[in-house]
Amino acid sequence: MAAPNRKRVIIGLILVILGSLFLLDNLGFDIDIPYYLFSWPAVFVVLGVINLLSGNRRSSLIFFGLATIFYLHYYDVINLRDVWPVILIIIGLSFILRKKSAPRSVSESSENYFDEVAIFGGTERKFVSDNLQGGKITCMFGGSEIDLRGSKAQDGAVIEIFCMFGGTELMVPEDWKIHMDATAIFGGFSDARKNITENPTATVHIKGFTMFGGGEIKN
């Protein structure tokens, strides 16, 4: 089994530390942490860091901006009640005046093992490996699109998928035989492939768990 990448470990540690602090506070322990480190604005900062590590810069800027507004309100620099209408106006104008964006370029990789994380944001990746050994996809309050159609899989490769309040779309070649073992709680996991070949070049195992989310396999 491949070792978890550094990004996944950092995100996991942030969530564990944050959850532990909130749990201790709920249990009545006096942990004596300043407001700016233990508050909902701090949660926005953490979400911003997580999205920044996941490559979702736009989402990270939004969370950092929200954290800044709440901190300024707490220290009486601004009045949140006066700022919210201005924020809504700016968001509305951005939709009205936004220009048609250029087609988004999808990052491409030739790695033999992938580990994609989307938390409060989205990712879109394409892999063109000649010996794909497997991978992991994690989505929490976000989504991902993973394109493996340009890859050749090692027979018996395993792709693990975990989605909670999010979803993923996995595109695979027509000559793969997919063995799917998925558990869905208040969600779904579907195989929407068409034109499947009768002579597969490899068998790929997809193990998935979705909760309040979903996954779909396409070709």
**153 and 66 together in one domain:** no
The rounded distance, in Å, linking the Cα atoms of 161 and 182 is: 9
pLDDT tens across 27-50, in order? 777 666 665 566 677 777 877 777
What is the token pair recorded at 47? 């979400």
Pick the last residue of a domain from 72, 97, 122. Answer: 97
Residue 1 within any structural domain of the chain = no
Q: Answer yes or no: is pLDDT of 1 > 50.
A: no
Residue 27 within any structural domain of the chain = yes
The rounded distance, in Å, linking the Cα atoms of 88 and 188 is: 34
Residue 107 zone, left/alpha/beta (φ > 0; ψ -120 to 50; rest): beta
pLDDT tens across 84-131, in order? 777 777 767 766 765 554 445 567 788 888 888 877 777 788 888 888
CB-based contacts of 15, cutoff 8 Å, min separation 6: 50
Choice between 158 and 51, residue whose per-residue pLDDT is larger: 158
Residue 102 within any structural domain of the chain = no
First-to-final CA distance of the chain: 27
The structural domain count of the chain equals: 2
The rounded distance, in Å, linking the Cα atoms of 13 and 4 is: 12
**71 and 172 together in one domain:** no
**113 and 131 together in one domain:** yes
Sheet holding 176-185, edge to edge: 113-119, 132-140, 153-164, 202-211, 176-185
**92 and 161 together in one domain:** no
**203 and 126 together in one domain:** yes
